[in-house]
Amino acid sequence: MSNPTEGQEVRKPTSVLEAIKVIDLVEIIPKFEGEGGKLDGFIAAVEQILSLIKGEERSNIGLIALRAVRSKIVGAADRVLDLDEAELNWDQI
């Protein structure tokens, strides 16, 4: 890959591309149905991904990541969050 010459613009990754990368990372997180024995591993995996977007939680990319993480919570765990009307915020989830 060549370096830009004078007058050429250095292109930064678009937020769409960054969002796709975050979603790809979230895809490796297994679904969580509420089993107590799997909770610690689920939390550790999510927090590792979210550490990559630290400070960006309310940005478009952060919200996309939180929605993707929230979609990994299914079954009984999903019903509990629905009953609690948890906001799209990792601390509340």
Collapse the DSSP code of 23 into the 3-class scheme (helix H, G, I; strand E, B; otherwise coil) and give the result: helix
Per-residue pLDDT of the chain (93 residues), as tens digits, is: 444 555 554 444 456 777 778 888 888 899 999 998 999 999 999 998 888 888 877 888 888 888 999 999 999 999 999 998 888 888 887
Gap between the terminal Cα atoms of the chain: 42
Q: What is the pTM of this model?
A: 0.72
Q: Report d(CA 49, CA 27) in Å as an integer.
A: 10
- In whole angstroms, what separates CA 52 from the centre of its chain? 9
CA-CA-CA-CA dihedral for 32, 17, 13, 43, to nearest 10: 0
Contact 62, 56 (CB under 8 A): yes
